[in-house]
Amino acid sequence: MKTLQKSGGLAALYMAISHLIGIVIFLVVLDYLNITDPAQKVALNVEKQTVIFSTNLLMYVFFGFALIVLSLALYDRMKSVAPALMQAATAIGIIWAGSLIASGMAANAGLATVAALYAKDPAQAALTFQAIESITGGLGNANGEILGGTWTLLVSLAALRSGELPKGLNILGVFVGAVGMFTIIPVLNDFTGIFGLGQIIWFIWMGIMLARSDSRLTI
């Protein structure tokens, strides 16, 4: 059990770090959100292909595998006290992980396709990229963090019931999870930033707790 808990803790810390690195790369280095013209966006993707490919692996593919490890560690920790909640949370966590892995893999496969097409027909490459981006965005929960929010909420409710994790961590998780779930509503989609930053803090706190492998810590 201790090995799985430590592995879950390391996975949570990785998830926080990869999220932070991804935010810095996409929002600061690439200024991705401020590029709305399809032609400019596809040109950036082709020019920075290696950076974007690596970031997709970091933020989506490897993140998804880490999420599976964390989900299993949390299930193992709380299954005896809150079995129904943890069964539901673990199922959703694995679905979320699969969705993220698929998003990253599809994005990188599409990136190679668009880059090859861009050399021959930039206009067609931009149209193709738009179609690929819609698919990968849907898989990556760009239209609302319903999967991540629900998973975080259920895990935190189970932890509140079991007493296995600090109350402050669990309250934070309930808040972050609820925010994530509400972002599925179009007018509240902009709150995904609050969900993302809140979950980074939650992952770091959770990672520290699990990595210590102590059954009941109160920090």
Residue 150 lies in a domain: yes
Kindly state the percentage of the chain with pLDDT values over 70: 96
Q: Quote the mean pLDDT of the chain.
A: 92
Residue 123 lies in a domain: yes
pLDDT at residue 37, as a whole number: 84
CB 67 within 8 A of CB 96: yes
Residue 217 lies in a domain: no
3-state secondary structure 172-189: HHHHHHHHHHHCCCHHHH
What single DSSP character describes residue 191? G
pLDDT tier for residue 1 given thresholds of 50, 70 and 90:
low
User: Can you list the alpha helix ranges (DSSP code H) found in 119-191?
Assistant: 122-139, 146-162, 167-182
Of 38-47, 154-163, 172-181, the least confident: 38-47
Record the pTM: 0.92
Residue 219 lies in a domain: no
pLDDT digits (tens, 9 = 90+) for 68-126: 999 999 999 999 999 999 999 999 999 999 999 999 999 999 999 999 999 899 999 99
The mean pLDDT of 27-36, rounded to a whole number, is: 84
CB 147 within 8 A of CB 99: yes
Q: Which helix (H) or strand (E) covers residue 79, if one does?
A: none
Evaluate if residue 215 carries a pLDDT over 60: no
Residue 19 lies in a domain: yes
Kindly state the percentage of the chain with pLDDT values over 90: 76
Q: CA–CA separation, 64 vs 99, rounded Å?
A: 8
Evaluate if residue 53 carries a pLDDT over 70: yes
pLDDT at residue 214, as a whole number: 53
Domain of residue 11: give its range: 2-211
Evaluate if residue 171 carries a pLDDT over 90: yes
pLDDT at residue 34, as a whole number: 83
Q: How many domains does the chain have?
A: 1
The mean pLDDT of 199-208, rounded to a whole number, is: 96
Residue 218 lies in a domain: no
Residue 216 lies in a domain: no
Evaluate if residue 141 carries a pLDDT over 80: yes
Cα 5 versus chain centre, distance: 20
Cα 8 versus chain centre, distance: 15
Burial of 29 (0-12, 13-18, 19+ CB in 10 A): exposed
pLDDT tier for residue 217 given thresholds of 50, 70 and 90:
very low
The mean pLDDT of 134-160, rounded to a whole number, is: 94
CB 44 within 8 A of CB 114: no
Give DSSP secondary structure letters for 7-53: HHHHHHHHHHHHHHHHHIIIIIIS-GGG---HHHHHHHHHHTHHHHH
Residue 198 lies in a domain: yes
pLDDT at residue 213, as a whole number: 64
The mean pLDDT of 127-156, rounded to a whole number, is: 93
pLDDT at residue 39, as a whole number: 87
